[in-house]
A and B are shown apart, each in its own frame.
Chain A
Amino acid sequence: MPPSTDLLQGTLDLLILQTLALGPMHGWGVAQRIQQVSKDVLQIGQGSLYPALHRLEYKGWIQSDWGNSDNNRRAKFYSLTPNGRKQLESELETWERLSSAIGLVLGRVPGASA
C-alpha cells in the first residue's frame, strides 16, 4: 500500500461533501469512494470519518436516513442538504484560490503536473 498523505486541516469536510454531491451514500461507501478516486492515496480511517460525518450533520450540511444497502443490510445513508450544497460551492472556491496561490508560490502553473 502506498503511504497515505496527511490531509490538510478541513479538507476532509470538503472531500466528504464533494463525494456526497454525487448522491446518498453510507459511511463505508464514502470512505471507499474517496480511496478509489484518489487511487489509494487518500485513505480515510473510520476514526476521523465518522466524527466528521456527525459534525457535518450537526451543522446541517448533510442529513442521514436509514435505508438498505446493496447486500440488503440496514445502513445509514448520508445525503447533501441544500445548505450543504452551498457550503460545498464556497469551500471549493476557497480551495481553488488556496491551491492556485500555493502553486504560484511554488513557481508552478496551476494544473500542471508535478
Chain B
Amino acid sequence: MIRELLTQIRFLVKHPKLTEMDDELQFHLEQSTATNIAGGMTAAEARRQALIEFGGVERTREQCYEQRPGWWMGTVLQDVRYALRGFRRNPVFAITVIATLALGIGATTAVFSVVDRILFRSLPYAHDDRLVSVGLVQSLSRQEFTVGGFFFDWRDNQKPFEAFASQGTMLHACDLIETNPAQLQCIKAQAGFLPLLGISPVLGRNFLPEEDRPNGPRVALISDGLWLNHYGRDPGILNRLINIDGNQTRVVGVLPQGFELPTVEEPDVMLPSALNEGLERRSSPGSPMRTFARLRPGVDIAQARAEMQPLFLHTQVTVIPAQIRKDFHLSVRSLRDRETKDVQLTAWILLASALAVLMICCANVSGLMIARGEARERERAVRSALGASRGRLIRQTLTEAALLSFAGAAAGMMLAEGLLRVFLDLAPSGIPFLSRAGIDFRIALFTVLLSLLCGATFGLLPAWQTPRALALAAHAAKSRKRTLLRRSLVVGQIAISMVLLSGAALLLKSFQNIEEQHLGVQSDGVLTARIALPGFRYDTGQKKMEFYLQAEAALRRLPGIRAVGFSDSLPPGGWQDSERFADLAVEGRPRPVQGTGGSVVSRGVSPDYFRALNIPIVMGRNFAEADRNDSEYWAVLSRLLAARMFPDEDPTGKRIQRIRDGIVFTVAGVADNVKNGGLTEQDQPEIYFLRRSVAQDWGGRAPVGEVMSGAAPLLVIDAELSTTAVAQWVRSQIAQIDPTVPVEIETLNQRVSKLADRPRFETALLGFFAFCGLVMAVIGLYGVISYVAVQRTQEIGVRMALGATRLDILRLISGEGLRLIVLGGVAGLGAALATAQLLKSLLYNVGPRDPAIYGAVALLLALVAFVATLIPARAAMRVEPAEALRYE
C-alpha cells in the first residue's frame, strides 16, 4: 500500500519523457512490420498493414498519458488558465458576477457575524445547552428572579437539576478605595455559582463555602480587566487586601478574560453572597437574586418545569401574599432565551433577509452563467467534437464558477467588514454581544462554504446542459428549456424582492409612526445631566442633597436657562420606577383589590420638572417651591391616573396612601399625559412625588447606566441657548462645586433617539436588503428580456416585413416582461402576506397586512421592473427589418 503510494508520488514528480513513449510505440510498429515482411509482404505493404492494425497513435499516446496519477491536476491548471483568459476577454461579465456575489456574500456574512452569538454560537459556559434560568416572573419583572424565602427550599428539594445556584439581581456600583480610587461594578454570587457555569478562575480559586456565609472572611474575585488596568497583571495580586466600600477584602482569584454573567453583564468584582441561610428561610420574601441551574442529562426544560411546579405551588402559598399571588408564575427557560429572547426575532428576520438577498444574487449569477454558456455553445460544441468529454466540459465550467466564487467571497469579506462597521454604528445598545461581533475564522469558513454552494449551484446548472448531440451549426434552434430556467429564476427573484420590499415598507411605516408620535413633553433644547457621586464621599442623604441643591442654585444663575428641575427618571422610556396600582389607596375609600390594576409609573421630581419639559398642569396646581420645605408629602397625578382613581371628580386636595410604607400624599394637581411606556408600548398611568429638600428624599446610590438601584436624581435643564454651549457651562458649574465627579450630559432628543435605535436599526437593515434585492432582481429581469429580444431578432424582422408596426414589437417584447413581473409579483405578494405575521411584534401602529403598504410596494416593484423591460423592448423596436431578417 505504502509502496504503491510512493510509486505514485515518484511518478508525480518525475514526468516520463514523451519521446520514450514514442520510442516504445515506434518499436511496436517496427516489430509489426518485421512480422508482416516475414509473412511475405513487400516492405511498403508490410508497413501499411502494420499502421492500419495499429490504429491511432496519438489517441494511444494520450490514453497512456492519462494513466498518470495526478494527471487531472494538470488539467485543472489548464482550466484555470483558460478561465482567466476568458475573463480577460470579457471583463464586464467577470466583474458583474464578482460584484453580485460580493454583495450577496458580504451582506450574509456581516449579518451572520451579528446574529451568530445570538442564535447559534454556544454560550461561554460548560454544558451551555443544559443551563437554564429558574425563578418567578410577574408583570413588573419579566426576567426570572428568586428570593431567599424560597430559594433554599427549592435548592434542597428540586430534582431535575444537578447544580443550582444564584447571583445577585444585577451589578451594583461599589467603590475601590485606595490611592487611586475607582467606581466599580460589583456582583454577589454564591460559592456554587462559578462551578455551575463551569468557570474556574485563571488565577487563584473560587470562594470557599465558609467564605459564602454571613460574617465569613471577606474575599473577592476580580475581573481580568481590573487586574490588567488597575494592577498591571501583577501576579502578587492574590491574597492582597483591597478596600471595597470601606471593607478590607482579600483577593482570592482572577476571573477569566471576557467572563460575563448569565445576565450578560461583565462585573469588575465578584463578592460572595454570604446569605444568612437560617434567616432567609424564615423571611418573606428575603433577599432577591437570579437563579440558574444545570439540567441533569436527559431532562428537558418542559420536564424540569413540570417537576418544579409542586415546589412553586408550595412557595406560592407560603411566601407570596394571597392578594398578589395570581400575578406570579414559574418560569424555567434556556439560558440562551434568557439572554437573547427579545432580539431573537430581529436576528432571524435579518438573517432570513440576508439569505434572501444571497438567493437573488445567486439566481442572477446563474442567469449570467447560463447566458454566457449559451454564447459559448458553439465553442463548446467544437471542443466536444475535438474529443473533450462531458466530464471535462463540466469540470471546465465548474472551474470558472469556483474561480468566480472565490473572487466573490474575497470581495464579499471586505464588504462584510465595512457593512459590519456600519451595523455597529447603527446598532442600539440593547442588542447583546453586538459590540463584540467580528468577522472571525468561523465566519470566514461560513463565507467560503456559502461561496462554494453558490459556485456549485450556478456552475452546475448550465454545465448540466452540455452540447450532447448538438450540431455545430445549431444556433437558431435554441433550447427553450434554458430560457424557461432563466425565466423561472427571474420570477423567483421578483417574488423574493417583493417579500423583502413589503417587509421593509412595513418597518419603515412603523418607524415613521414612532418618530412622528407626540411624546407629551418638549424634547428640543432640553438637557439632562447625570452626576455619579462617589458613594464613599457622599455617603449620606444629607451630603448628596447639599451637593444637588448647590448645583441647582448654580445652574439657575446661568444665563440662557429657563428651568432646572430634578427627576429620577425621564419619559418616554428606559428605567422608570413604578408602584402597583393596588398599592395606592384613596383615603376614605375601601382599599383597591390587590393583584389588579397593573403598575403605575412613579417619578420623584422637583417643581421645575414640569416647566423644563413643558408638561401642562390641567387641573389644580403644580408643586410649589415652598412645598419643598414643607412637612407635607405632595403628589401630582397624570390625567390617565386621575381618571382611573377619581372618575368624574376633582382629585385636587384628595389624599392617597402608599400602602407599602403608609405615607399619605396630598394631590396637588393633575398633569397632562406623557408617553411613558417606551416608544412603542401603551401609555401607563403615572404619579409624581415631590422630592423635598430633606435628607431622606435624597438617599440611594447613583444609578448604574439605565439599570439602577435606588433613585439618584437627574438634572433636567431647559436651555434657551444652544445645547452645546449650555452643556459646557453646566460642566464648569458642577466642576466648581466638586471637580472630581463625572458628569454625563445628554440632550433629551438624544435619549429619545436612542430609544428608537432598535426600530431604526431593523428598518435600515431590512431596507438596505430590500433595495439590494430589488436592484438585483431588476438587473436579472433586464438581462432576460434583452436576451429574449436579441434571440427573437429574426422573428421580429419577419413580423415587421409582414406588416407589424414598431408599437406591436414593443408590445410583444414588453408583454414578455410583464408576464414575468405579474407572475413573480403575485407569488411574492402571497409569500409576503403569509410571512408578514412574523413581523407583527416589531410593528407600531401599522397592521402586518396593511393594504396601502402592499399596494404601494407592488406598484413600485411593477414600475421599476417595467422600466427594466422597456429598455430592451425599445431596442428591439428600433431594429431595421432588413438587418433583422439577415440576422443569424
Instruction: Enumerate chain A interface residues (CB-CB to B < 8 A).
Output: 26-28, 45-47, 50-51, 54-55, 58-60, 69, 71, 73-76, 83
Contact = CB atoms under 8 A, between A and B. Distances in A.
B55 interface: yes
Per DSSP, are chain A's interface residues mostly helix, strand or loop, or mixed?
A: helix
A50 B34 contact: no
Given A46-B60, A58-B68, 19 more contacts: A46-B55, A47-B55, A47-B60, A50-B60, A50-B63, A51-B63, A51-B67, A54-B67, A54-B68, A58-B7, A58-B67, A58-B69, A59-B4, A59-B7, A60-B3, A71-B34, A73-B27, A76-B24, A83-B3
Contacts of B8: 58-60
Interface residues of B, number: 28
A54 B25 CA distance: 12
A74 B21 CA distance: 12
Contact of A47 (B31, B34, B59, B68): B59
B20 interface: yes
A47 B63 contact: yes
6 contacts: A26-B24, A46-B55, A50-B21, A51-B64, A73-B27, A74-B27
B72 interface: no
B21 to A, nearest CB: 8
Contacts of B63: 47, 50-51
For the complex of A and B, 10 pairs with smallest distance between CB atoms:
A60-B7, A51-B63, A54-B67, A28-B31, A55-B67, A54-B64, A60-B4, A76-B24, A28-B28, A75-B27
Contacts of B28: 27-28, 46, 50
B30 interface: yes
Contacts of B20: 76
Contacts of B68: 54, 58
A47 B59 CA distance: 8
A104 to B, nearest CB: 33
Interface string B61-87: 001101111000000000000000000
B599 interface: no
Nearest to B6: A60
Interface string B5-35: 0111001000000001101110110111010
Contacts of A51: 60, 63-64, 66-67
Contacts of A71: 34
Contact of A46 (B25, B30, B34): B25
Contacts of B54: 46
B623 to A, nearest CB: 98
Nearest to A87: B4
Nearest to A75: B27
A73 B30 contact: yes
Interface string B32-70: 101000000000000000000011100110011011110
A2 B63 CA distance: 27
A45 B8 CA distance: 26
Contacts of B30: 73
A50 B24 contact: yes
A83 B67 CA distance: 19
A59 B27 CA distance: 24
Contact of B27 (A54, A55, A69): A69
B345 to A, nearest CB: 59
B526 to A, nearest CB: 84
B682 to A, nearest CB: 79
A3 B707 CA distance: 95
B4 A26 contact: no
Contacts of B60: 46-47, 50-51
Interface in B608-628: none
Contacts of B4: 59-60, 83
B605 to A, nearest CB: 90
Nearest to B62: A51
Given A45-B55, A69-B27, A76-B27, A50 B7 contact: no
Contacts of B25: 46, 50
Nearest to A28: B31
Interface in B697-726: none
A88 to B, nearest CB: 15
A28 B32 contact: yes
Nearest to A26: B27
A109 to B, nearest CB: 38
Interface in B257-283: none
Given A58-B11, A76-B23, A47 B56 contact: yes
B2 to A, nearest CB: 10
B225 to A, nearest CB: 61
Nearest to B5: A60
Which of A46, A47, A73 neighbours the largest number of chain B CB atoms within 10 Å of its CB?
Answer: A46
A28 B34 CA distance: 12
A74 B740 CA distance: 100
Contacts of A60: 3-4, 6-8
Contacts of A74: 23, 27
A58 B30 CA distance: 26
A76 B28 CA distance: 10
Nearest to B68: A58
A12 B647 CA distance: 105
A51 to B, nearest CB: 4
Which of A27, A54, A76 neighbours the largest number of chain B CB atoms within 10 Å of its CB?
Answer: A54
Contacts of A75: 24, 27
A74 B30 CA distance: 11
Interface string B549-561: 0000000000000
A60 B1 CA distance: 10
A73 B34 CA distance: 12
A53 to B, nearest CB: 8
A58 B64 CA distance: 11
A50 B27 CA distance: 12
A71 B37 CA distance: 14
B71 to A, nearest CB: 9
Contacts of B24: 26-27, 50, 75-76
Nearest to A56: B67
A34 to B, nearest CB: 14
Contacts of A47: 55-56, 59-60, 63
Nearest to B30: A73
A28 B27 contact: yes
A25 B467 CA distance: 44
Contacts of B6: 60
A23 B203 CA distance: 74
A60 B7 CA distance: 6
A86 B119 CA distance: 57
A71 B11 CA distance: 30
B26 to A, nearest CB: 10
Contacts of A45: 55
